[in-house]
Amino acid sequence: MYTIQTLNKISLNGLELFSRDKYEIATEISNPDSIILRSFNMHDMELPQKLKAIARAGAGVNNIPVEKCTDKGIVVFNTPGANANAVKELVLAALLLSSRKISKGISWSQSLKGKGSEVPGLVEKGKSQFTGPEIKGKRLGVIGLGAIGVMVANDALSLGMDVIGYDPFISIDSAWELSSTVTKASSLEHLLSTSDYITLHAPYNSKTSGMINNESLKIMKDGVRIVNFARGGLVANKDLLDAIKSGKVACYVTDFPEEDLLGNDNIITIPHLGASTPESEENCAVMAASQLREFLEKGNVINSVNYANCELPFSGNTRIISAHENIPNMLGQITTILAENKLNIADMISKNRDKTGYTIVDIDGAISDEVVEKIKGVKGIKMVRIIKIK
Ligand SMILES: NC(=O)c1ccc[n+]([C@@H]2O[C@H](COP(=O)([O-])OP(=O)(O)OC[C@H]3O[C@@H](n4cnc5c(N)ncnc54)[C@H](O)[C@@H]3O)[C@@H](O)[C@H]2O)c1
């Protein structure tokens, strides 16, 4: 029986993946095998001694003490891309909002309340102040071609936009997903200087912090429209406000309102609604639960933030899983112990990522507690777990 503690309310569709005969799931559970959560802050929490895995239903993991977990061999999972469609849909809306003065027009028409039968006439007379260009035929620059950026790029093509993308670290999966009609920017400057609309989909880190600043704004086309559903910190607000004032930027739509961005006619602030859909919450829960189940039942690692992806179909009778440091001869030492104890290896895989390593070895027959203890004793080993295959 595996035990799972839920630290937040998790969508039923996710929890239903854990069959009751194999799992005990509760909000209060002492010393659980695993934890599933959304935004609960784990930093002040003592990590349960038996804890093997934490699954976060969502992308960010700053509410989880990842380094501390890595030290103890606890695998931390997230759900990249599970909310991508939700964000993409709002980005497409934001492109239109940035062009067509929809939000101003809505507020203005609401302000006509009380004008009685004059309303239709006033609408026809006043509507010209809300004219804005179509997006069809305009160039959209997509910065960051991951789960969200690729979807935005592909769907913007369907809306008739000419799309250019920039991502120096694009993954193979994203490259496969991306339409071949998207132009590959030769540099960030190439994208910035040729786009009518720019949308940000890169992560926030020390390299991307304030990437939209005086310098980058200077090379953009006059009247550019910028959409930011990635993170507020990607844009230097003061520089952006200057660019709005000078007319360099016609409109900025952001999912990250801050005091200095409010009350400006050409800035549209949305209260961080990118992933706020019931579907997205469900997708995250289902993805987190299925990855956790795969780990607990089979030892496979899919979408971990601190260990490499590592999957192996079952063979043999017993699976030995170990999380360890990424140092020479870990696999060699494990296989030597098995050979010394006359245990035959049916299949194995070992993957490293940064400072961590993860190894799965399937053997014929059973393993004794004594041999497991020997493996645990190898320098650099953080966690060993045994799964009975048949
Ligand atoms: N508004 C919301 O509610 C919401 C919801 C989900 C995600 N997000 C944010 O959206 C962003 C993208 O999310 P995702 O799921 O697509 O992530 P992802 O990891 O799938 O994609 C990010 C992409 O950015 C690329 N990248 C990294 N550094 C770059 C750089 N300097 N220039 C250009 N590209 C760079 C990476 O190679 C990767 O392909 C993240 O910042 C995330 O925090 C916001």
Of the options 2.40.240.10, 3.40.50.720, 3.40.50.300, 3.40.50.2000, the CATH number for the domain spanning 85-96+133-269: 3.40.50.720
Q: Please provide the CATH number assigned to the domain covering 1-83+275-306.
A: 3.40.50.720
- Give, in words, the CATH class of 310-390: alpha beta
Instruction: Tell me what pLDDT residue 60 has.
Output: 83
- What are the tens digits of pLDDT across the range 107-125? 999 999 999 999 999 999 9
Q: Up-side HSE of residue 2: CA atoms within 13 Å toward CB? A: 25
Residue 36 backbone phi and psi in degrees, to 5? -125, 135
Taking the centre of ligand 1 as the mean of its atom positions, its distance from the CA of residue 297, in whole angstroms, is 31
Q: What is the C-alpha separation between 358 and 380, in angstroms, rounded?
A: 11
Closest residue by CA, ligand 1 atom 38? 146
pLDDT at position 24: 97
* 310-390 and 1-83+275-306 share a CATH fold: no
| Three-state secondary structure call for residue 247 | coil
Please give the Cα distance from 256 to 97 (Å, whole number): 16
How far does the centroid of ligand 1 lie from the alpha carbon of residue 236, in Å?
18
In percent, the amount of the chain with pLDDT more than 70 equals: 100
In a 13 Å sphere around the CA of 52, the CA atoms on its Cβ side amount to: 20
Q: Per residue in 244-281, pLDDT tens?
A: 999 999 999 999 999 999 999 999 999 999 999 999 99
Q: What is the pLDDT of residue 187?
A: 98
pLDDT given for residue 390 in this prediction = 84
CB atoms closer than 10 angstroms to residue 119: 13
C-alpha span between 379 and 374 (Å, rounded):
10
- pLDDT over threshold 90, residue 216: yes
Q: Which of 148, 164, 209 to mutate to test the pocket of ligand 1 (most atoms within 8 A of CB)?
A: 148
What pLDDT sits at residue 59? 85
* Annotated domain spans of the chain: 1-83+275-306, 85-96+133-269, 310-390
Mean pLDDT, rounded, of the chain: 97
For residue 332, what pLDDT band results from cuts at 50, 70 and 90? Answer: very high
What are the pLDDT digits (tens) for 52-89? 999 999 988 989 999 999 999 999 999 999 999 999 99
pLDDT by residue (tens digit) across 160-192?
999 999 999 999 999 999 999 999 999 999 999
- pLDDT of the residue at 62: 87
Take residue 336 and report the two structure tokens written for it: 């030597």
